[in-house]
Amino acid sequence: MAGGTAPRAHHSACAIKNPPYSASRARSAAVQKQVTLTAFSEITPSAPIATEAHGWKAKCLQRLVRLELPVPQSVALPAATIRALAQGQPVDASAILAHFGTDQTAGPLVSVRASPANPDWGGPATILNIGLNAARHAALCETHGREAADALWCRFIQGYAINVARLDPDMFEDVRPGPDALRELRRLYEYETDEPFPEDPARQLSEVLRSMARAWEGTSARLLRSAKGAPEDAALGLVVQEMAQGIGQGISGSGVIQFVDSVTGQNRITGRYLGQSQGRDALAAREALYLTRDPRGPSLEEEAPEIMQDLIRMGAACRAKLREEMQIEFTVEDGRLSVLDAIRVTRSVRAGLKIAVALAEDGVIPKSEAVLRVEPRALSELLHHQVDPRGIRDVIATGIAASPGAATGRLVFTSEAAQASAARGEQCILVRRETAPEDIRGMHSAAAVLTERGGMTSHAAVIARGLGLPAVVGASDLRLDGKDRKLTARDGRIFREGDIITIDGSRGEALAGAAEMLPPALDDSFRQLLTWADEFRDIGVRANADTPSDAATARNFNAEGIGLCRTEHMFFEEDRFTVMREMIFADTSADRASALSRLLPMQREDFVQLFNIMQGLPVCIRLFDPPLHEFLPASREGLRELAEALDRPLSEVTRRAEALREVNPMLGMRGVRLGVVLPEIYDMQAQAIFEATIESARRGAVIVPEVMIPLVSAAREVELVKTRIDAVAAAVRTRANADFDYRLGVMVETPRACLRAGEIAQHAAFLSFGTNDLTQMTYGLSRDDAGRFMNTYVQQGVFPEDPFHILDQDGVGELLLIGAERGRETRQELRLSICGEHGGDPLSIAFCRAAGFDYVSCSPYRVPMARLAAAHLALGEHASR
């Protein structure tokens, strides 16, 4: 670099010549001695090229050179030089050109390519044909013919004018290709810049380098790359490369080739080739050739089979040695093949997974690396249908992306309509202000759910995730009119019952009409990757599963057991709902016992089925938790139907329902409080669990059921419930003349339970942290209503994230640590777990693992992500040791 401030150039003394370019290298060796203080390195196998200093592309080119691929001679300018350039220091471009043997009138043309440290960070566009001037144009006319020479120079002038002189691209729109184009372009350039187009190759190159350096520092480039995770001080290197023309006699042209499909990851050669072209022209040209034989048109394979063979061989070498699927940019000049560049094939999540597994199966990378190459959160894209990212999105409402996946269907506004729709075999989208337990059957019938209110752990969100149903909740920009069965979108459009919409639960959007979809990708590669993940992880992963179908999903995703079975969900089935209501309305203990005795066989059958599906894996059953009034109808019509079903006067039913209503039900008669006040319910559930255990053992599935008490805040609550459950167990053993084991544990969902975990652990074999309620109670923040202001809170930085979504490690996390420590002080072998929604989130899994928890439990559809995240944590720790 001029001025003597830059470090000395480190040209490699042992530059290995790539055969096709030996002539120019011989020239460059001669001029090397004259090179002044310019910091650049020839890209040779042994040159000290580093990604941090010279960028990813320079390093990649060096790897290609090491593979002895025919890469045109290239030099790398380090980031320090480019930074100095951007700050106004001049570059000694003649020294660089001299390296290629280029002077004012002779020698090859060059291109300049951006080389950021990470290929995803973008960078200024490649500029080709630097060095073209009148003298070289004349020479090209001789060797390549007038038309080709004109086309090259036109291209260079236009590229230079737009990218370097920063002229408006629109100015050149009217210039038609042809004999006058060159003159017209030069005229336009001179008119706009007040100076002739530069003839001096060194000036051309130094201006190109300077403009690329400045473009990198521009505001929009900074914003774009920081959105892709680039640090504030991300640096750019540049590569100057001898042009391989792609234009000329014999077979000449350029193209791009890759060996896997970017969307599916399947092995498939894709790309295009265009005769008499340069750079990536082939990708845009309609007349470009296919690469392999194709019914749609002629192919390179037919025109030049030996070149295709070479490309396939080079692709295989890249894959094996660069340990990656690469897209190769190539040029053919008079039948001679050059590789100009190779970039990592862009890929969808499903393609990325398939590629990683295939590389490991072929022994190119270790299994651990394949596991680490797939981002756990991205897996949810593979488990469900997705809106095709290439399609049009007509967004009518936005909300919280509560449950991933996408579905299209006709709008319905009630659970009954959803059930009717399912009975007709029609997909529907259930839209509600918010859902309540009585909507469960409607949700089961719907293809997706949209609610106006609610947050990440509201009823709709939790149930939808459990069912694997796409859901958007808290879509407060839509207006819902349940009475007239219509919803008004944010732009005023009205949608009525029967209209078709699409719910994108991965993005939190509702779209008008039927969007294009991509199907789930639960294929062999997916299963293989997760099997490998299981070999590395060191924390258990169970599923929250309430029904046999949830349990089957959990098994299918290889959950190691059920960590939370919310038994109340079993009572929303048609046949039990009324009996449950009868039980709630019972006046006397005897009436209640009679209703419970009708529920008993149904519950027992539920557990037999669960145990059967889980085949000896642990099953943790939570005793009844919600406030009883959730089982009562809210509307007058519902109350009338109930009065009819119970054969009681409407006034009495209404009075009883009123009496059960609580001002603050989530802090009222629910959880263990019901167990203490109305112990017959837990007695019935315990009996059902134990009888099912005996029944399963007879069928060959030996189970040690885990019985979990919800919403505990005092040790005495556990003591009382435990005494009764032990008594039920003893009675069942005697009656059946059979033995079984069970474990009794506590769900830690109140701050007090964390603080008093030492006492509580005296009566509990395990503690499972219910972080949904624990978050609600720690913040004093309703999990069902927080959606209304959560966005504002997060936007204004009050909370860094929605704490119902991402575990609040500072507050709720501290309570978890206190609970875990105090519990284990009392009982060393105490098993610890988390079963709130956070159990499926990678950051929360990291927290629980660090705190020594035994397992996490999450919705069945989040199990794969949890397995992979846990493997990443174990592998990360291993690597940092």
In whole angstroms, the minimum distance from the beta carbon of 709 to Mg ion comes to: 12
The answer to whether residue 835 is catalytic is yes
Residue with tokens 């109808």: 633
Binding to Mg ion (CB under 5 A) within 732-771 occurs at 749, 770
Binding to Mg ion (CB under 5 A) within 34-73 occurs at none
**813 binding Mg ion? (CB under 5 A):** no
Toward Mg ion, which CB reaches closer, 42 or 749? 749
In whole angstroms, the minimum distance from the beta carbon of 662 to ligand PEP comes to: 16
In whole angstroms, the minimum distance from the beta carbon of 650 to ligand PEP comes to: 32
In whole angstroms, the minimum distance from the beta carbon of 752 to ligand PEP comes to: 15
* Strand duo 236-242 + 127-130: pairing: unpaired
774 exposure class (CB count in 10 Å sphere: 0-12, 13-18, 19+): buried
Toward Mg ion, which CB reaches closer, 150 or 749? 749
The answer to whether residue 384 is catalytic is no
Decide: 109 and 94 in contact? Cβ < 8 Å.
no
What's at 247, amino acid-wise?
I
> DSSP letters along 486-542, please?
EEE-TTS-EEETT-EEEEETTTTEEEES---EE-----HHHHHHHHHHHHH--SEEE
In whole angstroms, the minimum distance from the beta carbon of 353 to ligand PEP comes to: 30
- Residue 803's region, left for phi above 0, alpha for psi from -120 to 50, else beta, is alpha
In whole angstroms, the minimum distance from the beta carbon of 843 to ligand PEP comes to: 17
- Among Mg ion, ligand PEP, none, the one that 462 touches (CB under a kind-dependent 5 to 8 A) is ligand PEP
To 5 degrees, how large is the angle CA 375–CA 376–CA 377? 95
- Among Mg ion, ligand PEP, none, the one that 856 touches (CB under a kind-dependent 5 to 8 A) is none
Q: Which of 13, 6, 8 is nearest to 28 (CA)?
A: 13
- Among ligand PEP, Mg ion, none, the one that 431 touches (CB under a kind-dependent 5 to 8 A) is none
Residues 6+ apart with CB under 8 A from 119: 56, 57, 343, 344
Decide: 75 and 61 in contact? Cβ < 8 Å.
no
CB atoms within 10 A of CB 312: 16
622: helix, strand or coil: strand
User: 835, 838, 848, 872: which is the annotated catalytic residue?
Assistant: 835
In whole angstroms, the minimum distance from the beta carbon of 771 to ligand PEP comes to: 5
- Among Mg ion, ligand PEP, none, the one that 242 touches (CB under a kind-dependent 5 to 8 A) is none
Q: Which of 342, 463, 321 is nearest to 784 (CA)?
A: 463
- Distances from the Cα of 336 to the Cα of 305, 547, 608, 841, angstroms: 13, 65, 72, 53
In whole angstroms, the minimum distance from the beta carbon of 772 to Mg ion comes to: 5
- Residue 462's region, left for phi above 0, alpha for psi from -120 to 50, else beta, is alpha
Decide: 501 and 489 in contact? Cβ < 8 Å.
no
In whole angstroms, the minimum distance from the beta carbon of 845 to Mg ion comes to: 19
Four-CA torsion 820, 824, 829, 834, nearest 10 degrees: -10
Toward Mg ion, which CB reaches closer, 693 or 775? 775
132: tokens are 């073209």
Toward Mg ion, which CB reaches closer, 419 or 750? 750
To 5 degrees, how large is the angle CA 29–CA 35–CA 39? 110
Toward ligand PEP, which CB reaches closer, 429 or 835? 835
Q: Which of 381, 184, 136, 346 is nearest to 262 (CA)?
A: 346
User: 99, 459, 629, 838: which is the annotated catalytic residue?
Assistant: 459
Q: Which of 86, 120, 134, 107 is nearest to 27 (CA)?
A: 107
What residues line the site for ligand PEP (CB under 6 A)? Answer: 462, 564, 566, 625, 749, 770-773, 835-836
- Among ligand PEP, Mg ion, none, the one that 158 touches (CB under a kind-dependent 5 to 8 A) is none
In whole angstroms, the minimum distance from the beta carbon of 667 to ligand PEP comes to: 12
**773 binding Mg ion? (CB under 5 A):** yes
- Distances from the Cα of 686 to the Cα of 672, 674, 679, 707, 848, angstroms: 14, 14, 11, 8, 30
Toward ligand PEP, which CB reaches closer, 132 or 835? 835
**Interface size with Mg ion, residues (CB under 5 A):** 3
789: tokens are 């202001």
588 exposure class (CB count in 10 Å sphere: 0-12, 13-18, 19+): exposed
Toward ligand PEP, which CB reaches closer, 84 or 564? 564
Toward Mg ion, which CB reaches closer, 454 or 770? 770
In whole angstroms, the minimum distance from the beta carbon of 813 to ligand PEP comes to: 14
Toward ligand PEP, which CB reaches closer, 770 or 864? 770
Q: How far apart are CA 829 and CA 633, in angstroms?
A: 45
- Among Mg ion, ligand PEP, none, the one that 350 touches (CB under a kind-dependent 5 to 8 A) is none
**630 binding Mg ion? (CB under 5 A):** no
- Among ligand PEP, Mg ion, none, the one that 835 touches (CB under a kind-dependent 5 to 8 A) is ligand PEP
Q: How far apart are CA 592 and CA 458, in angstroms?
A: 30
- Among Mg ion, ligand PEP, none, the one that 771 touches (CB under a kind-dependent 5 to 8 A) is ligand PEP
The 3-state secondary structure of 319-358, one letter per residue: HHHHCCCEEEEEEEECCEEEEEEEEECCCCHHHHHHHHHH
- Among Mg ion, ligand PEP, none, the one that 540 touches (CB under a kind-dependent 5 to 8 A) is none
9: tokens are 């150039």
DSSP state at residue 9: P
Toward Mg ion, which CB reaches closer, 78 or 770? 770
Q: How far apart are CA 418 and CA 436, in angstroms?
A: 15
- Would you give the binding string for Mg ion spanning residues 656-695, x where CB under 5 A is met? ----------------------------------------
In whole angstroms, the minimum distance from the beta carbon of 660 to ligand PEP comes to: 19
In whole angstroms, the minimum distance from the beta carbon of 569 to Mg ion comes to: 13
Toward ligand PEP, which CB reaches closer, 315 or 840? 840
Q: Where are the beta strands (DSSP E) in 364-437?
A: 386-387, 395-398, 400-403, 406-412, 428-432
- Would you give the binding string for Mg ion spanning residues 699-738, x where CB under 5 A is met? ----------------------------------------
Distance of CA 634 to the CA centre of its chain: 39
Toward Mg ion, which CB reaches closer, 773 or 841? 773
Query: Helices (DSSP H) in 574-635: which residue ranges?
Result: 574-585, 589-614
Toward ligand PEP, which CB reaches closer, 487 or 774? 774
Decide: 327 and 311 in contact? Cβ < 8 Å.
no
Report the catalytic residues: 459, 835
Residues that bind Mg ion (CB under 5 A): 749, 770, 773
